[in-house]
Amino acid sequence: MTRHLLSLNDLTGEEIVRLLDRAVELKGMQRRGEIYEPMRGGALAMIFEKSSTRTRVSFEVAAIQFGGNAIFIAPGDSQLGRGEPVADTARVLSSMTRAIVMRTHSHERVVELAKHSRVPVINGLSDRFHPCQLLADLLTWVEHRGSVTGRTAAWVGDGNNMCHSWANASKLLGFNLNIATPAGYEPDPDIVTDPAGRITLGNDPAAAVAGADVVVTDTWASMGQEEEKQQRVKDFAGFTVDAALMARAGADALFMHCLPAYRGYEVASEVIDGPQSVVFDQAENRLHAQKALLEFLLRTVGP
């Protein structure tokens, strides 16, 4: 049965661990110059309704390194931009390609795409989740600190798609997640509610990061929220991850950000450019984690 990745909840905790282990192997193979081409002769379709740097480049490079090709489809380049139903696009693309990545404003669109696709569909970002980024984040955390089970992550900022995906990861892998958002910017309670009690919610960044093993933030105004930027800057006052806030975390705490970052807003230059920052490791690991994901999903294609 064909499987998709629309959120991390499409995987089990054990599968995520195996994916991370495989990503480490694939990363080593690439650095040793080993040729491995499980997509030879195949193509990856990439429907991007939102702009991208890391997601686009990492998936295109992944397809090339796997011996295949990537076809980038921007909003004005296909009939989707003229109102063709997502279901029809899914049927056509899945008859010609090995997998489809969609980056979209509405999570319902990527769900609809997967419903009618015969090949794996990957959520390259939606308004609800960003699972591919979390695989890279988890890979980076594991590479630097080992198993994440029982450790503590702190999320500081907007209760957005990244926050939701960190919550999914917490439940699946058994680490604690302290979330601090300004009042009115909390994440969806249906996503972050955790019967096991590993996820805590609050509005105090200092309390959230206390003793944390990793501190994570994101831009205060995501794509599509540009008109809200001035108001958000006011509402997020006190939520900048600076050296004083990082000092409240664990002594060897890592700092993470999915990028792009806006220095002086959600993070201070002294932190993102400092020794605790692993943001560029995260960015590179998008490639390796997604190669592991593609390999895993391509093996599931079937009736």
The residue behind tokens 């900022």 is 157
Mean pLDDT, the chain, integer: 96
Question: In the predicted model, what is the mean pLDDT of residues 151-173?
Answer: 98
| Residue 97 tokens, joined | 């390609």
Q: Going by C-beta distance under 8 Å and a sequence separation of 6 or more, which residues neighbour residue 190?
A: none
What is the model's pLDDT at position 154? Answer: 99
Q: Is the pLDDT of residue 302 over 90?
A: no
What is the model's pLDDT at position 78? Answer: 77
Start-to-end CA distance of the chain, whole Å, equals: 5
Q: Which residues of 17-47 are buried (b: 16+ CB within 10 A; e: fewer)?
A: bebbebbbebbeebeeeeeeeebeebbbbbb
For 225, counting Cβ atoms within 10 Å of its Cβ (0-12 exposed, 13-18 middle, 19+ buried), the class is middle
pLDDT tens sequence across 62-85: 999 999 999 999 877 877 766 889
For 2, counting Cβ atoms within 10 Å of its Cβ (0-12 exposed, 13-18 middle, 19+ buried), the class is middle
Rounded to two decimals, what is the model's pTM? 0.96
For residue 218, indicate whether it is catalytic.
yes
Which entry of 65, 133, 282, 290 is annotated as an active-site residue? 133
| Residue 68 tokens, joined | 């295949």
For residue 286, indicate whether it is catalytic.
yes
What is the model's pLDDT at position 264? Answer: 97
> How would residue 46 be classed by pLDDT, with cut points 50, 70 and 90?
very high
Q: Give the C-alpha distances (Å, rounded to integers) separating 189 from 14, 95, 135, 158, 204.
A: 25, 38, 22, 14, 18
Alpha carbons within 13 A on the beta-carbon side of 210: 6
- Cα–Cα distance, 54 to 258 (Å, whole number): 9
For residue 273, indicate whether it is catalytic.
no
For residue 130, indicate whether it is catalytic.
yes
What is the model's pLDDT at position 224? Answer: 64
Which entry of 258, 282, 288, 290 is annotated as an active-site residue? 258
- Cα–Cα distance, 117 to 301 (Å, whole number): 11
Which entry of 103, 128, 164, 257 is annotated as an active-site residue? 103
For residue 32, indicate whether it is catalytic.
no
What is the model's pLDDT at position 303? Answer: 57
Question: In the predicted model, what is the mean pLDDT of residues 122-131?
Answer: 98
pLDDT tens sequence across 265-296: 999 999 999 999 999 999 999 999 999 999 99
| Range list of β-strands (E), the chain | 43-48, 69-73, 99-103, 121-125, 152-156, 176-180, 199-202, 214-217, 254-257
Question: In the predicted model, what is the mean pLDDT of residues 255-261?
Answer: 98
Decide: 212 and 153 in contact? Cβ < 8 Å.
yes
For residue 213, indicate whether it is catalytic.
no
Angle formed by the axes of helices 86-93 and 107-115, to 10°?
50
Domains in the chain and their CATH numbers?
Answer: 8-130+286-298 (3.40.50.1370), 131-282 (3.40.50.1370)
- Three-class SS state of 156: strand
Question: In the predicted model, what is the mean pLDDT of residues 233-253?
Answer: 97
